[in-house]
Amino acid sequence: AGGNLIKSWFDEGLIPGGPNYNLMDSLFKDGLAAFIVNGIWATPSYRDTGIDYAILPFSEITFDDGTTPRPFVGVQGFMINSKSSSKLEATEFVVNYIGSFDGQYGMFLGERRGTARADVFSFIEADAGPELYDVLQFSKSASVGTPMPNVPEMASVWGAMADALGLVINGQDTVENAFNSAVEKIKTTIGN
C-alpha cells in the first residue's frame, strides 16, 4: 500500500524524479514541498530558514486497519577506539562528561536532539521555546517506533528498498513484484 501511494505521488508529479535527501530538503526550505519526512536533526535549519512548520508524529497516524506506523528509532552512543593512545582520557570524557547534565545539555544545544536525562529535559522544558515542541513531537513518534537494528545486515535492507523504489518510480516493475523481490534479496543477503 505504501509503495502504491509513493508511486502515485510520482505519477501525479507531486514528487520530482531523481529524489534524494538534499533535493528533498531544499524543496521544503524553498516552500516547494508541502511536507517532508525527516528527523529532529533537520528542524534547526527549518527554523533558521523561517519556515512555520508543524510536526505530525507517527503516533498520531492511524491506517484504515487501525494500526499505527512504526518508524525505526535510533540512538547515539559513544565508543572508544581500542587502538587509541588516549583510552584513559577518552574513558574519562565519556564516563564523566557525556552522561552529565552539562554534557547532555550541550548535545541538546548543538543538535536539538532529545535527552535521556530527566533533569536535562525538565531544564529544557522550562526554557526551550520552540525546541521543546520539536523534542516532544519526535518523542511521540519514537514512542511507537522500533529500535533500529545495529547490525551490518541493515545495509542490505536499505539497498534492496532503494532498488525496489527506483524500479517502481521509473515504471520498470510493479510495486508488488519489486517489493517481493526486495524481501527475497534481503533474506538472501542476511542468510549469507
| pLDDT recorded at residue 79 | 87
pLDDT for residue 144 = 92
The reported pLDDT for the residue numbered 123 is 87
pTM: 0.74
pLDDT at 77: 81
What CA–CA distance (Å, rounded) separates 10 from 113?
32
Per-residue pLDDT of the chain (192 residues; tens, 9 = 90+): 888 988 998 899 888 877 688 988 999 999 988 889 998 889 889 989 999 999 999 999 998 899 998 999 887 788 899 999 999 999 999 989 998 999 999 888 887 777 878 898 888 888 777 778 888 888 889 889 999 888 888 889 999 999 999 999 888 999 999 999 999 999 998 887
For the stretch 92-123, what's the b/e string if a residue is b when 16 or more beta carbons lie within 10 angstroms of its beta carbon?
eeeeeeeeeeebbbebbeeebbbbebeebbeb
Burial grade of 88 (CB within 10 A; 0-12, 13-18, 19 or more): exposed
Q: How far apart are the first and last CA of the chain?
A: 29
CATH architecture of 37-148: 3-Layer(aba) Sandwich (3.40)
Q: Which three cell numbers stand for residue 155?
A: 545495509
The per-residue pLDDT for 168 is: 92
pLDDT score recorded for residue 111: 75
SS (H, E, C) 28-75: HHCCCCCCCCCCHHHHHHHHHHCCCCCCCCHHHCCCCCCCCCCCEECC
